[in-house]
Amino acid sequence: MSAQPTVWRAPGKLILLGEYAVLDGAPALVVAVDRDVRCAVTPDAGLRVDAGQHGAVDWPVDRGATPLPLVRALLARLADPPPGRYRLDSDALYADTADGRRKLGLGSSAATTVALAAALRAEAQPDPAAIYRLAQEVHRAVQGTGSGADVAASSFGGALAYRWLDDPAKAPLDALSAGDGAGHATPLRAPDTPLWAVWSGDSASTVALVGQVAEWARRDPAGHRRRIAELGFAARAGIDAWQADDRAGLAAAAEAGRRAIVGLGRDAKVELCTALHRGLHRAAARHGAGVKPTGAGGGDLAWIYAAEPAAEAAAAKALEAAGHPVFRLTVAAGVERLG
């Protein structure tokens, strides 16, 4: 009889507010959601990581091959990774379309890195802070940029106020991580109602969009600072409202954040809030709600927000009836061992 696998899970994320500004020290409002990546481990004499359609790595036999750079970087980072067959399943963070499988924008690469890091550490009870530091170091080295908000959500879970600071000494006292990395996650209250999100039908490249905005920042640093300040102001207001369970305040902050991301995209000449996003927002407004891009924008999932839960649900129902994929998401726990 073959051994039953040990399974680790790491949740996906939504960055609701503070996108782009988090790279300049402002807080971001990020939540872990109940769609996850799972890593099933079975005993084996060798070490193989199988990510299904994304490829596989036999370590260290084909060390020089190119697929799965995050997996390779993580294995290389560990002095003596334990043998076994590691099967990664990220299907819950993708959608099936006529053109094939597409990312939903839930941080699949970060969740995959966190799930595999936890499995390779093989602890009975995972240490989220240690996993965050390892996964963030690898993720940032491979991606070349990124605040690690998605890595923090997958590691710590829940709702977080996340900051990326050049000086770790500036971290808030209740931060969950204050290692050599400059990322600091402060836990927030768990909401009593679900989050609603609508999918644009297309995936966006965070690295490409962040790079385009960074190029504009070099051309117009004053304009960039102004837009980043607007995004940071909306994020701080939203975090305060989230903590106070002030739904009207949160909806107002979300609208301010939406307007700020529209302005950033217009000034940088990068389509962060797409024509579809604008159409979805107009449709939701007929039900007293709004729609805002999450994360880097440009596609992926958009957040449906309103001052009243009933308005969010009504807007979600109307958008789904119009043929747009809608997701009901709840805030989830961080990385854990299931068995």
**What are the tens digits of pLDDT across the range 72-108?**
999 999 988 999 999 999 999 998 877 778 889 999 9
Beta bridge partners of 304: 196, 291
Name the band, by pLDDT with cuts 50, 70 and 90, for residue 309.
Answer: very high
| DSSP letters for 248-310 | HHHHHHHHHHHHHHHHHHHHHT--SS-HHHHHHHHHHHTTTEEEEE-TT-SSSEEEEEESSHH
Domain 195-329 class, CATH top level: alpha beta
**What are the tens digits of pLDDT across the range 252-268?**
999 999 999 999 999 99
Residue 285 has pLDDT above 90, yes or no: yes
For 12-24, what is the mean pLDDT? Answer: 94
Name the band, by pLDDT with cuts 50, 70 and 90, for residue 173.
Answer: low
Considering the domain 6-192 in this protein, what is its CATH number? 3.30.230.10
pLDDT > 70: what percent of the chain? 93
Domain ranges of the chain: 6-192, 195-329
Residue 1 has pLDDT above 50, yes or no: no
Residue 178 has pLDDT above 90, yes or no: no
> What is the pLDDT, as a whole number, of residue 200?
87
> Could you tell me if 188 and 158 are in contact, meaning their C-beta atoms sit under 8 angstroms apart?
yes
C-alpha span between 46 and 58 (Å, rounded):
8
| DSSP letters for 206-252 | HHHHHHHHHHHHHH-HHHHHHHHHHHHHHHHHHHHHHHTT-HHHHHH
Which residues, other chains included, contact 6 with Cβ-Cβ below 8 Å and sequence gap of 6+? 40, 41, 42, 119, 122, 337, 339
- Average pLDDT of the chain, as a whole number: 90
Residue 273 has pLDDT above 70, yes or no: yes
> What is the pLDDT, as a whole number, of residue 221?
93
pLDDT > 90: what percent of the chain? 73
Residue 174 has pLDDT above 90, yes or no: no
For 241-257, what is the mean pLDDT? Answer: 97
Residue 276 has pLDDT above 90, yes or no: yes
Q: Which two tokens stand for residue 244?
A: 């106070």
> What is the pLDDT, as a whole number, of residue 181?
53
**Helix, strand, or coil here: 155?**
helix
C-alpha span between 7 and 123 (Å, rounded):
12
Sign of the Cα pseudo-torsion (49, 202, 262, 11, in order): negative
Among 140-154, 161-175, 270-284, the range scoring the smallest mean pLDDT is 161-175
